[in-house]
């Protein structure tokens, strides 16, 4: 370790370097919202600089490549004659960013600066300590600082007023431009939907997973477009709900060009994954001072991806960070508009339409502004400094929070609210749960996925919310739900327009056959399909037919009535049966059957509608409905249907008409309840025999 040297405080502006995820840039004028004056004015608009091809800092590093050189600072002699105090100088490098790591006790301060090609030094930048996005623990290193093209780098570090720069390893990050970074090819505008809900207001861009952004979404530069190296990242987690949006700044240098923004993002990704060993960038969105919005952390922009941007408040929040330091002046208005556009899209899309609404957080970690274990109430939109021991997003930017909240609420109020209105109409979160995926195109539909349901619309029209346990599995080819889900014996089913979804043992299957429990190979499957096609049966609301279930006496008459074309009739106001009332299901059909002589009921004046109908009674019903044709009995046909049997003649007619063959053992089982599959076979053969 090198000898220590006293270090005097630096007079330069303190700059906090953090990672962030950005929001899309949509000017307020596009969204139909007036600008709002503020006590702290926004910075000037983004400079109108010419779009020029970028030259790489290092000719050996090109095409968007990022290279990191590790330099153990103890191997370099300290510079002791600098007026700002002792430092370590790394000469003959080609750097655009720098970060530092250490082992053991952390330094109290780390400062960096770069020397440009013309020999001028940048202001000192204080590198903020990094926090592990997976654990929330302080990392043994800093965040990377953007320097721009630098050919020498100075590092200062102190602890207790003494120089400890020799304990650090500097990581010289050399980024390079791509042709796509020149400001002309980053955006691929598509059929986006702006906050007004009008197609074409802003562009919609597909993320690397092929997920298009939907209604109210701003234009975003996807990870594929800014050149993310996906081989560097690991899996991330998602949350089942979004509680709020957190605003940040990266606190890096403001002197970057529009074309250099993508380089910064690529450099951050490389440093975080290669040097610090993290899974990805910490923030969900990054916004540059020109209003460009970058998809930062992977996992899908429509999801509630858990980031690493606000210690103790990462789960259930979306981190939006504007690239630069906004301690003395607020960002350009175009960048503020972009941040508010992203925030409005995420909040309205997750049904958080009131940004003043308070939500509770339980603080599960030390190091925040609040005691560990405490419960805190926060609004839907707040700044990093509201929960962390930091000045982020800078005093000037934070001074505009009140105006930004007003603007944000206006954007939410004037955005496309088709799915939000459907959500409320259906009963809100009590019925549908919380939003897991905001509205996005899915086939010909626009889909919102919730924990207990889905919301579907045809583009931006016909928005309807449905409770369903199949929300995560739903596919456009299923169509809309046509029934509620039901569970029988541990199997959950729900009928959709084009089939039935079945959940059994944790596995979801979807059957496009008419009834999920009637496969084509089943005996009488064709007959069941035919009576369904004729409108004689609709099956159960869960998409089943239940072929092995018995059929009741009332339903049997209803089937016959439908098979006859549902003839019109006027049932009597006074019921002809003691156990029926005019409000009884199938009352009209049963009265019609009585009037036609198809049924007579029981001698005690009852009909017993919910009793299973016996096979012998079905024979009688069908025979009478056919006009009671004469039949030559030809003697006993079945061993259990003697000539003296009540329905001997009717059962004999079924045999002669080819409607039944009985059982292989020569029996008919006249007193047995008829199952629904056999009933279908009887009905189809009866229709054929009678020419219907």
Mean pLDDT of 54-75: 89
Residue among 204, 201, 173 nearest 190 (CA): 204
**In angstroms, rounded to a whole number, what is the distance separating the alpha carbons of residues 487 and 326?**
56
Mean pLDDT of 101-109: 94
Mean pLDDT of 74-95: 94
Residue 539 reports pLDDT greater than 70: yes
**Helix boundaries (H) for 255-366:** 261-270, 333-349
Token pair 């349901």: residue? 453
**In angstroms, rounded to a whole number, what is the distance separating the alpha carbons of residues 628 and 631?**
9
Mean pLDDT of 603-626: 95
pLDDT of 55 reads 76
Specify whether the CB–CB gap between 440 and 193 falls below 8 A: no
Q: Between 143 and 616, whose confidence is greater? A: 616
Cα separations in angstroms, 112 against 67, 80, 92, 106:
19, 16, 16, 16
Cα separations in angstroms, 637 against 63, 147, 198, 562, 651:
89, 100, 74, 30, 9
**In angstroms, rounded to a whole number, what is the distance separating the alpha carbons of residues 5 and 162?**
5
**In angstroms, rounded to a whole number, what is the distance separating the alpha carbons of residues 559 and 593?**
11
pLDDT of 127 reads 83
pLDDT of 368 reads 66
**In angstroms, rounded to a whole number, what is the distance separating the alpha carbons of residues 24 and 286?**
9
Reading the block at residue 363, the tokens are: 């603080």
Cα separations in angstroms, 393 against 12, 35, 247, 407, 494:
18, 21, 7, 18, 48
Token pair 């025979």: residue? 623
In sign, the C-alpha dihedral spanning 187, 191, 192, 198 is positive
pLDDT of 143 reads 85
**Helix boundaries (H) for 482-583:** 525-533, 553-563
Mean pLDDT of 94-118: 94
Q: Which residues contact 303 (CB under 8 A, 6 or more apart)?
A: 238, 436, 437
Residue among 590, 642, 589, 591 nearest 616 (CA): 642
Q: Give the distance, in angstroms, between the CA of residue 504 and the centroid of all CA atoms in the same chain.
A: 24
Mean pLDDT of the chain: 83
Mean pLDDT of 484-513: 86
Mean pLDDT of 406-427: 96
**In angstroms, rounded to a whole number, what is the distance separating the alpha carbons of residues 143 and 138?**
11
Task: Give the burial string for 142-159 (b: 16+ CB within 10 Å, else e).
Answer: bbbbbbbbbbbbbbbbbe
Residue among 663, 554, 631 nearest 599 (CA): 554
pLDDT of 430 reads 97
pLDDT of 18 reads 27
Provide the pairing of β-strand 138-142 with 129-131.
Answer: antiparallel
**In angstroms, rounded to a whole number, what is the distance separating the alpha carbons of residues 3 and 444?**
69
Residue 205 reports pLDDT greater than 50: no
**In angstroms, rounded to a whole number, what is the distance separating the alpha carbons of residues 284 and 229?**
17
**Which structural domains are found in the chain, ordered by start?**
67-414 (3.40.80.10), 418-511 (no CATH), 529-689 (no CATH)
Residue among 470, 474, 476 nearest 445 (CA): 476
Task: Give the burial string for 552-575 (b: 16+ CB within 10 Å, else e).
Answer: bbbbbbbbbbbbbeeeeeebeeeb
Residue among 181, 177, 182, 198 nearest 26 (CA): 198
**Residue 669: how many other CB atoms lie within 10 Å:** 16
- Secondary structure letter of residue 37 according to DSSP: -
**In angstroms, rounded to a whole number, what is the distance separating the alpha carbons of residues 380 and 154?**
41
Residue 403 reports pLDDT greater than 90: yes
Provide the pairing of β-strand 453-458 with 162-163.
Answer: unpaired
Residue 550 reports pLDDT greater than 60: yes
Percent of the chain at pLDDT exceeding 90: 57
- Residue 53 dihedral angles phi and psi, to the nearest 5°: -60, 135
Q: Which residues contact 495 (CB under 8 A, 6 or more apart)?
A: 481, 482, 483, 541, 542, 543
Residue 405 reports pLDDT greater than 80: yes
Q: Give the distance, in angstroms, between the CA of residue 636 and the centroid of all CA atoms in the same chain.
A: 68
Q: Between 443 and 56, whose confidence is greater? A: 443
Residue 187 reports pLDDT greater than 70: no
**In angstroms, rounded to a whole number, what is the distance separating the alpha carbons of residues 303 and 569?**
56
Residue 200 reports pLDDT greater than 90: no
pLDDT, tens digit, 9 for 90 and up, residues 4-52: 333 333 333 222 222 222 223 333 332 232 333 343 445 545 544 434 4
**In angstroms, rounded to a whole number, what is the distance separating the alpha carbons of residues 6 and 643?**
119
Mean pLDDT of 607-615: 96
Residue 311 reports pLDDT greater than 70: no
pLDDT, tens digit, 9 for 90 and up, residues 220-236: 999 999 999 999 998 88
Mean pLDDT of 195-204: 31
pLDDT of 387 reads 78
């Amino acid at each position: 370790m090198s000898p220590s040297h006293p270090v005097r405080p630096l007079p330069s502006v303190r700059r906090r370097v953090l990672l962030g995820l950005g929001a899309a840039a949509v000017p307020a004028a596009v969204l139909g919202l007036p600008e709002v004056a503020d006590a702290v004015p926004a910075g000037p608009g983004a400079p109108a600089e010419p779009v020029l091809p970028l030259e790489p800092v290092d000719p050996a590093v090109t095409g968007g490549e990022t290279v990191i050189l590790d330099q153990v600072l103890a191997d370099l002699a300290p510079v002791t004659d600098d007026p700002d105090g002792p430092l370590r100088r790394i000469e003959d490098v080609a750097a655009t960013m720098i970060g530092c790591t250490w082992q053991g006790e952390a330094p109290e301060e780390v400062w960096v600066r770069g020397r440009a090609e013309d020999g001028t030094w940048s202001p000192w930048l204080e590198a903020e300590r990094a926090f592990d996005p997976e654990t929330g623990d302080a990392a043994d290193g800093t965040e990377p600082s953007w320097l721009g093209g630098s050919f020498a780098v100075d590092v200062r570090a102190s602890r207790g007023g003494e120089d400890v720069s020799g304990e650090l390893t500097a990581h010289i990050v050399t980024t390079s431009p791509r042709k796509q970074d020149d400001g002309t090819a980053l955006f691929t505008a598509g059929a986006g939907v702006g906050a007004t809900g009008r197609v074409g207001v802003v562009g919609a861009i597909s993320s690397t997973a092929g997920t298009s952004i939907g209604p109210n979404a701003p234009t975003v530069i996807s990870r594929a477009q800014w050149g993310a190296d996906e081989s560097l990242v690991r899996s991330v987690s998602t949350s089942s709900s979004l509680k709020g949006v957190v605003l940040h700044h990266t606190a890096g240098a403001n002197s970057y060009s529009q074309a250099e923004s993508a380089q910064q993002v690529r450099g951050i990704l490389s440093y975080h994954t290669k040097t610090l060993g993290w899974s990805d960038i910490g923030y969900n969105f990054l916004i540059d001072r020109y209003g460009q919005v970058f998809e930062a952390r992977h996992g899908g922009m429509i999801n509630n991806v858990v980031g690493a941007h606000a210690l103790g408040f990462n789960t259930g929040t979306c981190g939006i960070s504007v690239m630069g330091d906004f301690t003395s002046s607020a960002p350009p208005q175009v960048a503020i508009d972009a941040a508010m556009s992203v925030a409005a899209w995420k909040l309205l899309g997750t049904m958080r339409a009131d940004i003043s609404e308070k939500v509770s957080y339980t603080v599960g970690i030390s190091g925040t502004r609040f005691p560990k274990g405490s419960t805190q109430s926060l609004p839907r939109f707040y700044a990093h400094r509201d929960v962390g021991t930091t000045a982020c997003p800078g005093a000037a930017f934070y001074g505009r929070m009140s105006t930004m909240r007003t603007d944000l609420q206006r954007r939410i109020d004037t955005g496309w609210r088709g799915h939000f209105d459907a959500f409320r109409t259906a009963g809100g979160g009590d019925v549908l749960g919380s939003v897991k995926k905001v509205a996005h195109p899915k086939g010909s539909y626009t889909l919102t996925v919730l924990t207990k349901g889905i919301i579907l619309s045809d583009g931006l029209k016909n928005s309807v919310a449905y409770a369903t346990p199949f929300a995560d599995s739903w596919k456009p080819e299923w169509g809309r739900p046509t029934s509620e889900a039901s569970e029988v014996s541990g199997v959950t089913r729900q009928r959709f327009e084009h089939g039935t979804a079945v959940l059994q043992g944790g596995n979801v299957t979807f059957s496009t056959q008419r009834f999920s429990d009637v496969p084509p190979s089943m005996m009488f499957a064709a007959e069941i399909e035919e009576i369904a096609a004729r409108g004689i049966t609709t099956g159960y609301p869960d998409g089943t037919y239940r072929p092995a279930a018995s059929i009741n006496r009332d339903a049997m008459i209803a089937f016959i009535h439908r098979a006859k074309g549902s003839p019109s009739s006027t049932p009597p106001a006074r019921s002809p049966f003691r156990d029926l009332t005019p409000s009884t299901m199938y009352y009209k059909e049963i009265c019609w059957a009585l009037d036609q002589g198809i049924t007579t009921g029981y001698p005690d004046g009852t009909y017993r509608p919910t009793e299973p109908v016996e096979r012998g009674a079905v024979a009688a019903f069908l025979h009478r409905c056919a006009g009671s044709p004469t039949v030559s009995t030809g003697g006993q046909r079945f061993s259990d249907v003697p000539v003296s049997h009540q329905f001997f003649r009717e059962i004999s007619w079924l045999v002669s008409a080819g409607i039944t063959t009985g059982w292989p053992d020569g029996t008919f089982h006249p007193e047995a309840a008829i199952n629904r599959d056999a009933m279908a076979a009887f009905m189809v053969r009866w229709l054929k025999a009678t020419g219907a």
